[in-house]
C-alpha cells in the first residue's frame, strides 16, 4: 500500500520532464539558428558587395533568360554557361532589376544561405549520442561552427553564386537519410531523393552528392531485400526530383540543340552546334593516386589552384583524416592490451556515424574524379565537420573533445585570417548594384545584334539593351565562324538583323591602332573576319557600367595589382563587310593552319580536345583554346607551340609548322604535378 504513493508522483512527473527537455532543445535550436544567421550577416557586411567574374558572365543573364525567351535572338551570349539551368538565379536577377540596393540584395542572399548552417546543426544533433542532450547541443553547434569556417563558403556569403543555395537541398537530403538510418521510414528516403534530385537539377554538379548519398542506405537496420527496396525508392524519387526541376529547361535545349543538357555531355548527344566531347575541367583533378591521397593535406596549405582558384586553406579534412587514424590506432592498442571495451551507446548513433562516413568517402572519391572544385563540395564539407565533431565526442571525454575542437578551430581561424584570399568584389554599399549608362545613340536605336569578344562575355548587359537586341559571344570560350559548327545559326542571326544593325562589343573605351593598350583594332578585325566583317571605327559608342569593377589583369610575378576602377567601359562599334581579297588570303592561310592543329589534336587528344573548336587569329598567331585543360595550341612564325592559360606551362615548342604540314610529329604528352606537358618524342626529357 505504501509503494503506490511513492511511485505515482515520479511517473506523473515524467511527461513534464520530457516536455521541459523538448522546450529546452527548441530554445537551444533557435539560439543556434539566430547566431548562425547573425554571423552570416556580419561577414556579409564586412566583405562588401560582391561582383564576381561569374556574376558578370552569366548569373544576371541566367535570371534574365529564365524569364525572357532569348533563344531567338541570343547565341552563346554568356558562353557555354548560357545554357545551364537558369532558374536558381531568378531571385537575384529580380532583386537587381527591381532596384534594390546592394546591401538589401546581399542581405537577402546571406539570410537564405545561412540555412545551410541550420541544417549542419541538425545533422550534428542527429549524429550525436541520442540520450545525452548536452552532447547533442555541443555536437550540433560545433558542427555548424566548423561548417562556417570553410573559406570557400565564407567567400560566397551574400554573393550571387548558387553553390550555397543549391547545397541547401542537397544537405537536407543527407540529413533525412541520416534520420532514416537511425529510424527507417520510407517517407524519409523518398523525401531525401526528391530534395537531392532537385539540387542536381538546379546545378548538375550536385549529382555527385545525390549518387554518393545512396551509400548511406547500406547502414539501414533492415534485411538485404528491404535495403534494396529502399534503394529503389530512393532512386525513383531522385529521378522524379531531377525531372521536375530540370525537364522544362531540358525540353527547350533539346528543341533547339538536340541535346537536353547542352552543351554538357555532348559526347553522347552529339549536337552539331558544339564540339562532341566532355566539358570536364581538369584544373583541380588530381593527376595521380598519390596526389589524390595527399589532397586533404594539400588543401590545408595556403596555396592557390588547389581546390579553388584563390588561396583557401582548410585544415578540417586533414584533421578529420588524422582523427580517424588516431581513433583506429587507439582501438587497436586497447584491443592488444586487452582493455575493457568502451561502454555501448545506442546502436543508432554508431549507424549514423558509419553511414555518414560511407557517404563522405564515396563522395570524396567521385568529387575528385569529376572536378575537385571546392565550390562544388560545400554540402559535404559540412558533413565532414559533423563527422569530426561527432567522432571526437564519441572517442574522448567531453572536456578533451572540446579542447581539441578549440585547437583546430583556432588553427583554421589563423589560416582564414592570414592565408585566405578575400573575394575581389569589395565595393562599397552606397550605390545601386548596377548602373548601366547607354549613350543616346544606342538607347534610342532600334534593336541591334551585338557581337561580343572575350572569355568574359559581359552578358550582364543584355537586360539593359533596347528591347529586341541580341548577343553572340562569337570570340570567347567558344569561337565561331560562318563555316564551323555554329555557322548556320550565326549566319541566320546576322541575316535577321541585317548589316545596319550588327555591332561589335568589346571591353575598353576606344579602338587603338598601335601600342599595347586594348582593344587593338587589328585584333578586333582579325576576329570579325571569321564572320566576313570588320569594325567601322567612325561609328563607335561607349557604354559605362558603374558598380562593376574594371576587368582583372593577368598577374605578373613580382608586380602588384593595379588599382581597379569601380566601373567598366564597353565599346560598341558598327560593322561593315570586310575586303573579299583579304578574306580569301585569310581562308587560304587558315586551311594550312587547320591541317596542322587537326593533326596535333589527333596526336595528343588528352591535351588538345575534343575536336570541333574553331581556329582564331590574333596578329600572326593562329590558335585554338581547349577549355577542359585550359590550354592554347597555336601556330606562330612557322612554329607549333602550346601554353597554359591558368598556371603553366609557359609556351612549349612542339615542332616546326613545315614538319606538321607533311606528317604528324610524334609527341610525348601527359600530365605531371598538375601541369600538362608535351614535347616531340625526339626531344630529351626534362
Q: What is the C-alpha to C-alpha distance for residues 203 and 210, in angstroms, rounded to an integer?
A: 11
Domain map of the chain by residue range? 3-47+118-419, 435-552+561-583, 596-680
Q: Write the CA distances from 585 to 247, 588, 590, integer angstroms.
A: 47, 5, 9
Q: What is the C-alpha to C-alpha distance for residues 621 and 624, in angstroms, rounded to an integer?
A: 10
Q: Which residue has the cell 600572326?
A: 620
- Rounded to an integer, the average pLDDT of 30-48 is 91
pLDDT at 21: 63
Q: What is the C-alpha to C-alpha distance for residues 109 and 164, in angstroms, rounded to an integer?
A: 10
- Residue 345 C-alpha cell reads as 551507446
% pLDDT > 90, the chain: 66
What b/e sequence results for 465-488 when a residue is b if at least 16 CB atoms lie within 10 Å of its CB, and e otherwise? beeebbbbbbbbbbbbbeebbbbe
Q: Collect all residues with Cβ–Cβ distance below 8 Å to 410 and sequence separation of at least 6.
A: none
Residue 259 is classified by DSSP as -
pLDDT per residue as tens digits for the range 251-298: 999 999 999 999 988 888 888 888 877 778 888 999 999 999 999 999
Residue 87 is classified by DSSP as G
Give me the chain's average pLDDT, please: 88
Q: Which residue has the cell 592488444?
A: 336
pLDDT per residue as tens digits for the range 402-412: 899 999 999 99
Q: Collect all residues with Cβ–Cβ distance below 8 Å to 458 and sequence separation of at least 6.
A: 56, 57, 452, 505, 507, 568, 570
Q: Which 3 state secondary structure label does DSSP give 473?
A: strand
CB 176, CB 191: distance < 8 Å: yes
pLDDT per residue as tens digits for the range 596-646: 999 999 999 999 988 888 999 988 899 999 988 889 999 999 999 999 887
- CA nearest 192: which of 346, 355, 348? 355
Q: Write the CA distances from 335 to 49, 327, 338, 415, integer angstroms.
A: 56, 12, 5, 37
- CA nearest 141: which of 117, 170, 177? 117
Q: What is the C-alpha to C-alpha distance for residues 76 and 392, in angstroms, rounded to an integer?
A: 50
- Residue 684 C-alpha cell reads as 630529351
Longest dimension (CA), the chain: 116
Q: Which 3 state secondary structure label does DSSP give 652?
A: strand
Is the pTM higher than 0.85? The answer reads: yes
pLDDT at 557: 34
- CA nearest 636: which of 652, 621, 616, 653? 621
pLDDT per residue as tens digits for the range 15-30: 555 576 677 778 888 9
Amino acid at each position: 500500500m505504501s509503494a503506490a504513493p511513492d511511485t505515482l508522483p515520479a511517473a506523473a512527473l515524467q511527461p513534464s520532464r520530457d516536455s521541459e527537455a523538448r522546450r529546452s532543445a527548441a530554445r537551444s535550436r533557435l539560439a543556434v539558428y539566430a547566431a548562425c544567421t547573425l554571423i552570416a550577416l556580419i561577414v556579409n557586411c564586412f566583405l562588401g558587395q560582391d561582383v564576381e567574374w561569374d556574376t558578370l558572365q552569366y548569373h544576371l543573364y541566367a535570371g534574365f533568360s529564365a524569364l525572357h525567351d532569348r533563344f531567338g535572338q541570343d547565341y552563346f551570349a554568356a558562353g557555354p554557361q548560357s545554357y545551364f539551368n537558369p532558374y536558381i538565379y531568378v531571385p537575384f536577377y529580380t532583386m537587381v532589376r527591381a532596384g534594390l540596393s546592394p546591401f538589401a540584395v546581399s542581405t537577402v542572399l546571406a539570410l537564405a544561405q545561412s540555412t545551410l548552417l541550420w541544417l549542419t546543426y541538425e545533422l550534428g544533433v542527429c549524429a550525436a549520442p541520442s540520450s545525452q542532450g548536452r552532447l547533442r547541443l555541443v555536437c550540433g553547434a560545433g558542427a555548424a561552427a566548423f561548417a562556417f569556417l570553410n573559406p570557400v563558403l565564407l567567400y560566397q556569403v551574400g554573393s550571387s553564386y548558387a553553390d550555397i543555395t543549391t547545397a541547401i537541398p542537397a544537405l537536407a537530403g543527407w540529413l533525412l537519410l541520416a534520420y532514416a538510418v537511425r529510424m527507417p521510414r520510407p517517407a524519409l528516403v523518398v523525401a531525401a531523393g526528391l530534395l537531392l534530385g532537385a539540387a542536381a537539377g538546379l546545378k548538375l554538379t550536385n549529382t555527385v552528392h545525390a549518387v554518393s548519398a545512396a551509400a548511406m542506405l547500406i547502414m539501414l537496420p533492415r534485411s538485404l531485400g528491404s535495403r534494396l527496396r529502399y534503394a529503389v525508392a530512393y532512386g525513383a524519387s531522385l529521378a522524379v526530383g531531377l525531372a521536375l526541376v530540370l525537364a522544362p529547361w531540358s525540353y527547350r535545349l533539346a528543341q533547339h540543340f538536340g541535346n537536353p543538357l547542352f552543351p554538357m555531355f555532348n559526347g553522347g548527344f552529339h549536337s552539331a552546334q558544339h564540339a562532341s566531347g566532355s566539358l570536364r575541367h581538369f584544373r583541380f583533378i588530381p593527376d595521380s593516386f598519390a596526389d589524390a591521397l595527399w589532397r586533404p593535406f594539400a588543401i590545408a596549405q595556403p596555396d592557390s589552384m588547389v581546390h579553388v582558384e584563390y588561396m583557401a586553406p582548410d585544415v578540417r579534412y586533414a584533421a578529420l583524416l588524422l582523427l580517424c587514424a588516431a581513433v583506429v590506432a587507439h582501438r587497436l592498442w586497447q584491443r592488444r592490451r586487452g582493455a575493457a571495451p568502451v561502454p555501448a551507446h545506442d546502436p543508432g548513433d554508431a549507424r549514423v556515424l558509419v553511414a555518414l562516413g560511407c557517404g563522405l568517402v564515396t563522395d570524396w572519391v567521385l568529387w575528385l574524379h569529376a572536378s575537385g572544385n571546392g565550390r562544388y563540395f560545400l554540402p559535404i564539407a559540412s558533413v565532414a565537420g559533423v563527422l569530426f565533431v561527432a567522432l571526437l565526442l564519441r572517442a574522448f571525454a567531453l572536456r578533451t573533445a572540446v579542447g581539441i575542437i578549440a585547437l583546430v578551430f583556432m588553427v583554421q581561424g589563423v589560416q582564414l585570417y592570414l592565408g585566405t584570399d578575400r573575394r575581389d568584389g569589395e565595393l562599397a554599399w552606397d550605390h545601386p548594384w548596377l548602373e548601366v549608362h547607354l549613350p543616346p545613340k544606342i538607347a534610342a536605336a532600334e534593336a541591334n545584334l551585338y557581337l561580343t569578344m572575350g572569355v568574359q562575355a559581359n552578358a550582364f548587359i543584355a537586360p539593359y539593351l533596347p528591347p529586341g537586341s541580341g548577343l553572340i559571344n562569337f570570340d570567347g570560350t567558344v569561337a565561331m565562324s560562318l563555316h564551323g559548327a555554329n555557322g548556320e545559326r550565326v549566319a541566320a542571326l546576322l541575316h535577321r538583323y541585317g548589316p545596319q544593325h550588327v555591332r561589335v562589343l568589346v571591353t575598353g573605351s576606344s579602338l587603338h591602332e598601335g601600342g599595347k593598350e586594348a582593344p587593338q583594332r587589328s585584333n578586333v578585325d582579325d576576329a570579325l573576319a571569321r564572320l566576313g566583317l570588320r569594325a567601322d571605327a567612325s561609328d563607335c559608342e561607349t557604354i559605362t557600367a558603374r558598380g562593376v569593377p574594371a576587368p582583372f589583369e593577368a598577374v605578373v610575378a613580382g608586380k602588384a595589382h593595379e588599382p581597379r576602377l569601380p566601373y567598366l567601359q564597353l565599346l560598341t562599334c558598327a560593322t561593315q563587310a570586310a575586303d573579299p581579297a583579304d578574306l580569301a588570303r585569310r581562308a587560304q592561310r587558315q586551311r594550312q593552319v587547320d591541317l596542322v592543329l587537326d593533326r596535333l589534336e589527333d596526336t595528343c587528344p588528352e591535351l588538345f580536345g575534343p575536336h570541333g573548336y574553331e581556329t582564331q587569329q590574333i596578329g600572326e598567331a593562329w590558335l585554338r583554346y581547349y577549355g577542359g585543360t585550359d590550354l592554347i595550341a597555336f601556330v606562330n612564325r612557322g612554329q607549333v607551340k602550346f601554353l597554359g592559360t591558368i598556371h603553366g606551362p609557359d609556351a612549349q615548342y612542339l615542332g616546326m609548322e613545315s614538319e606538321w604540314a607533311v606528317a604528324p610529329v610524334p609527341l610525348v604528352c601527359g600530365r605531371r604535378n598538375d601541369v600538362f606537358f608535351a614535347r616531340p618524342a625526339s626531344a630529351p626529357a626534362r
